[in-house]
């Protein structure tokens, strides 16, 4: 009976591990803050600025290495501390634009170069200084617009060419004046929506921008709570919107996924933290990282979470089951990197490294009769498990 109980407990643990989308990782080392900014370059994430526990505007910056789950301080932004900035990445350079600091609303554009760990000031954003603009990049150019300056909200929209270090004004964003909207690029198109409008109502609209024509197209409305101060990230060709504050001023931790292929929204796993607003996010390969922010109790945070996409694998099967002398495991999709076999007591019986395989065979000749769990691990630590029984 004890052996069976242990086997059931081990199986339950494996099922939990398979379904988990969020994992807590090393906290942001700059301390608790909200409304900072983040971007990614290659396999590194970069984050900084925002307002800290002492209500000071910050300009420090940190580099995050995903494989080691470690942070390292890098050169600070060589300008006054600020919050509510826009950000984008072009090639191997990260950019921070606009924001709000001690001197008021800003229109500066700064470029960070990780290979030399230094910042370069670029041509200032030519629109009015502002906070909370949308910003994204497509095919080597950046697009920035909307935001606010005091009681004035904006709908203007601009293109930045980093080669010429020049700005060009485009057609206004057709959704109306707003701030704390979200913007992202998916493939060769930009997308933006949500935020708070000039009349203080909240928007749930969603628009596609075509940089080739400069035209905007209305897409499917956001299906979650209307919100602002949310955070967005792109992963696996899909867009995600997380957290924020809704029109009733409630703080949120729900997360929604947008697919441009079918122009549809669906709710996915919520952020496993207290509801919050003012977080930052960045994506590295098949994972996104979301952290910091402020809760409804005015508690600023430094915690960080990693969000992983579901495995690109299906139909993990085992046969024969029960088995006498061997079992065979098959799957469709990506090959796992490792398989571990545990007995009913949770003891590791065998471990094998897999390389681009479409199946795995395990000899059971030396295995005592009983129940076993085969735990397969894919890249980034994702796991799937199958149980089998050895009989004489």
Amino acid 378: pLDDT: 81
* Neighbouring residues of 54: CB distance < 8 A, sequence distance ≥ 6: none
Which one, of 292, 367, 287, 285, lies nearest residue 326 by Cα?
367
* Neighbouring residues of 366: CB distance < 8 A, sequence distance ≥ 6: none
Q: Tell me the pLDDT tens digit for each residue of 141-174.
A: 999 999 999 999 999 999 999 999 999 999 999 9
Phi-psi sector, 243: left (phi>0), alpha (psi -120 to 50), beta: left
Q: Tell me the pLDDT tens digit for each residue of 253-269.
A: 999 999 998 899 999 99
Say what percent of the chain tops pLDDT 70: 93
Amino acid 310: pLDDT: 67
Amino acid 3: pLDDT: 45
Q: What is the C-alpha separation between 286 and 81, in angstroms, rounded?
A: 32
Classify domain 22-308 at the CATH superfamily level. Answer: Kelch-type beta propeller (2.120.10.80)
| pLDDT surpassing 90 at residue 309 | no
Q: Cβ(185)–Cβ(138) under 8 Å?
A: yes
CATH code of 2-17+312-390, in short, is: 2.60.40.3080
Count of C-beta atoms within a 10 Å radius of residue 322: 12
Phi-psi sector, 335: left (phi>0), alpha (psi -120 to 50), beta: beta
Phi-psi sector, 114: left (phi>0), alpha (psi -120 to 50), beta: alpha
Q: Cβ(246)–Cβ(225) under 8 Å?
A: yes
| pLDDT surpassing 80 at residue 363 | yes
Q: Tell me the pLDDT tens digit for each residue of 213-272.
A: 999 999 999 999 999 999 999 998 899 999 999 999 999 999 999 999 889 999 999 999
Average pLDDT (106-128) is 98
Amino acid 285: pLDDT: 85
pTM: 0.78
Q: What is the C-alpha separation between 221 and 159, in angstroms, rounded?
A: 25
Amino acid 335: pLDDT: 87
Amino acid 374: pLDDT: 93
For Cα atoms 246, 248, 252, give the angle at the middle one, nearest 5 degrees. Answer: 35
Amino acid 236: pLDDT: 83
Amino acid 356: pLDDT: 85
Least confident stretch, 13-22, 183-192, 349-358: 13-22
Helix, strand and coil percent figures for the chain, each rounded to 5: 5, 55, 40
Per domain, the residue ranges of the chain are 2-17+312-390, 22-308
Strands 251-259 and 264-268: antiparallel
* DSSP β-bridge partners for residue 385: 375
Q: Cβ(344)–Cβ(3) under 8 Å?
A: yes
Q: Which residue has the higher pLDDT, 260 or 10?
A: 260
| pLDDT surpassing 80 at residue 4 | no
Helices and strands in the chain: count of H runs, count of E runs: 1, 41
| pLDDT surpassing 50 at residue 1 | no
Q: For 48, how many CA atoms within 13 A lie in the half-sphere containing its CB?
A: 26
Q: Which residue has the tokens 């609303």?
A: 105
Average pLDDT (278-285) is 96
Would you place residue 384 in the very low, low, confident or very high pLDDT band (cuts 50, 70, 90)? confident
152: tokens are: 């004035």
Q: What is the C-alpha separation between 50 and 190, in angstroms, rounded?
A: 25
| pLDDT surpassing 70 at residue 57 | yes
Establish whether the linkage from the previous residue to 320 is cis, with ω within 30° of 0.
yes
Q: Cβ(274)–Cβ(253) under 8 Å?
A: yes
Average pLDDT (343-353) is 90
DSSP state letters, 113-145: ETTTTEEEEEPPPSS--BBS-EEEEETTEEEEE
Q: Tell me the pLDDT tens digit for each residue of 58-101.
A: 999 999 999 999 999 999 999 999 999 999 999 999 999 999 99
């Amino acid at each position: 009976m004890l052996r069976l109980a242990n086997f059931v407990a081990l199986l339950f643990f494996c099922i939990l591990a398979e379904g988990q989308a969020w994992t807590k990782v090393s906290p942001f080392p700059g301390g608790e803050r909200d409304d900072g900014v983040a971007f990614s370059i290659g396999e590194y994430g970069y984050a900084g600025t925002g307002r800290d526990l002492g209500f000071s505007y910050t300009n420090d910056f940190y580099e995050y290495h995903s494989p080691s789950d470690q942070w390292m301080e890098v050169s600070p932004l060589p300008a006054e501390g600020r919050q509510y900035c826009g950000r984008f990445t072009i090639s191997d350079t990260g950019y921070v634009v606009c924001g709000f600091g001690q001197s008021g609303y800003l229109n500066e554009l700064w470029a960070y170069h990780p290979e030399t760990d230094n910042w370069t000031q670029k041509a200032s954003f030519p629109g009015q200084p502002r906070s909370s603009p949308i910003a994204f990049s497509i095919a080597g150019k950046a697009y920035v617009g909307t935001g606010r300056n005091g009681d004035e909200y904006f709908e203007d929209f601009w293109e930045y060419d980093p080669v010429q270090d020049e700005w060009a004004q485009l057609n206004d964003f057709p959704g109306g004046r707003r701030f704390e909207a979200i913007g992202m690029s998916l493939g060769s198109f930009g997308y933006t929506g949500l935020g708070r409008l000039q009349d203080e109502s909240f928007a749930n609209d969603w628009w596609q921008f075509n940089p080739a024509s400069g035209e905007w197209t209305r897409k499917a409305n956001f299906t979650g709570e209307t919100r602002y101060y949310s955070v967005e990230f792109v992963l696996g060709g899909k867009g995600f919107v997380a957290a924020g504050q809704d029109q009733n001023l409630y703080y949120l931790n729900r997360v929604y996924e947008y697919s441009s292929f079918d122009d549809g929204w669906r709710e996915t796993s919520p952020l496993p933290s207290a509801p919050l607003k003012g977080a930052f996010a960045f994506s590295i390969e098949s994972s996104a990282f979301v952290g910091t922010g402020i809760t409804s109790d005015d508690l600023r945070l430094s915690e960080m979470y990693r969000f992983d996409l579901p495995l690109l694998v299906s139909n993990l099967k085992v046969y024969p089951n029960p088995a006498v002398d061997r079992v065979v495991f098959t799957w469709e999709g990506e090959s796992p990197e490792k398989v571990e076999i545990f007995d009913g007591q949770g003891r590791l019986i065998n471990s094998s490294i897999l390389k681009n395989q479409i199946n795995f065979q395990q000899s059971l000749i030396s295995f005592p009769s009983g129940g076993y769990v085969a735990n397969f691990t894919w890249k980034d630590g994702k796991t799937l498990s199958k149980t089998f029984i050895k009989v004489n």
